[in-house]
Amino acid sequence: MSTKVSQLVDIIGNALMQLRDEFSDPSSVVLADVAGDMEKLEAFFNSKAFIDACFAYVCERDEAGRLVGASRPNAYLQNRLGLSPGEAYDRLARGRDLFAPPPEPVSGGEEPEDSSGEDLFSSSSGVQRDTEEEKQRAEEERRRAQEESRRRAAAVSAEKQNIIRRELDKLLKAARGERARIHAEAMKQADRRDAKDLRFFVRRLVEEANREHAPRTNPNAGFENRGMHIGRRKPDGSVDITLTTTAGHAALIKAHSDKGLAPNSNMSPDETDYRSPAQRRYDQFFSIFQKYESDQQKVSGGAASVVVPMTLDDLADADGQTTFMTNTGIEVDVFDLVRLGLDGSEGPTHFVLQLDSVTGVPLSMGRTRSASIAQRIALLAVQGVCAWTGCTAPLSECEIHHIIAWIKGGSTDISNLTGLCREHHRCNNDERDGSNGKGHMEYDPGTGRAGLVRSGSTRIEFNGADPAENSAVNRAMGRAGGHRPRAAARVRGRPDGEMFPVRPRSSREKSKVVRRV
pLDDT digits (tens, 9 = 90+) for 63-91: 999 999 888 999 999 999 999 998 999 99
Average pLDDT over residues 348-364: 51
Which conformational region is residue 109 in: left (phi greater than 0), alpha (psi within -120 to 50 degrees), or beta?
Answer: beta
Within a domain: residue 469?
Answer: yes
Domain around 431: 307-479
pTM: 0.57
454 with 443: CB under 8 angstroms?
A: no
Are 466 and 324 within one domain?
Answer: yes
Are 326 and 475 within one domain?
Answer: yes
Sorted by sequence, the CB contacts under 8 Å of residue 400 that are 6+ apart come out as 376, 379, 417, 418, 419
Instruction: State the pLDDT at residue 63.
Output: 93
Q: Is a pLDDT exceeding 50 seen at residue 147?
A: yes
User: Residue 186: helix, strand or coil by DSSP?
Assistant: helix
Q: Is a pLDDT exceeding 50 seen at residue 279?
A: yes
Of 280, 300, 320, the last residue of a domain is 300
Instruction: State the pLDDT at residue 212.
Output: 84
The tens digit of pLDDT for each residue in 369-416 reads: 333 445 555 555 566 789 999 898 887 788 888 899 877 887 777 778
Within a domain: residue 187?
Answer: yes
293 with 340: CB under 8 angstroms?
A: no
Within a domain: residue 338?
Answer: yes
Helix (H) or strand (E) holding 197: helix 195-217
User: Residue 227: helix, strand or coil by DSSP?
Assistant: strand
Are 180 and 162 within one domain?
Answer: yes
φ and ψ at residue 419, rounded to 5 degrees:
-100, 130
- Neighbouring-strand partners of residue 362: 355
CA distance linking residue 389 with residue 407, whole number of Å: 25
pLDDT interval class at 164 (50, 70, 90): very high
CA distance linking residue 234 with residue 394, whole number of Å: 17
Residue of higher predicted confidence among 362 and 164? 164
Are 334 and 438 within one domain?
Answer: yes
Instruction: State the pLDDT at residue 392.
Output: 87
Residue of higher predicted confidence among 308 and 423? 423
Instruction: State the pLDDT at residue 204.
Output: 94
Are 295 and 321 within one domain?
Answer: no
Of 262, 277, 300, the last residue of a domain is 300
Within a domain: residue 140?
Answer: yes
Are 272 and 293 within one domain?
Answer: yes
- Neighbouring-strand partners of residue 309: 353
Residue of higher predicted confidence among 467 and 285? 285
Range with lowest mean pLDDT among 14-18, 105-109, 130-134: 105-109
Within a domain: residue 430?
Answer: yes
Are 348 and 467 within one domain?
Answer: yes
Within a domain: residue 494?
Answer: no
| CB-CB neighbours of 387 under 10 Å | 25
Q: Is a pLDDT exceeding 70 seen at residue 358?
A: no
Average pLDDT over residues 215-219: 62
> What is the count of structural domains for the chain?
3
**What single-letter DSSP state applies at residue 266?**
T
Q: Is a pLDDT exceeding 70 seen at residue 331?
A: yes
pLDDT mean across residues, the chain = 79
The tens digit of pLDDT for each residue in 241-251 reads: 999 998 899 99
Are 346 and 459 within one domain?
Answer: yes
Q: Is a pLDDT exceeding 70 seen at residue 493?
A: no
Of 176, 193, 224, the last residue of a domain is 224
Are 96 and 44 within one domain?
Answer: yes
Q: Is a pLDDT exceeding 70 seen at residue 347?
A: no
CA distance linking residue 428 with residue 75, whole number of Å: 13
Q: Please state, for a pLDDT cut of 90, what percent of the chain lies above it.
A: 38
Task: Detail the DSSP E strand segments found in 209-283.
Answer: 227-230, 241-244
Are 197 and 274 within one domain?
Answer: no
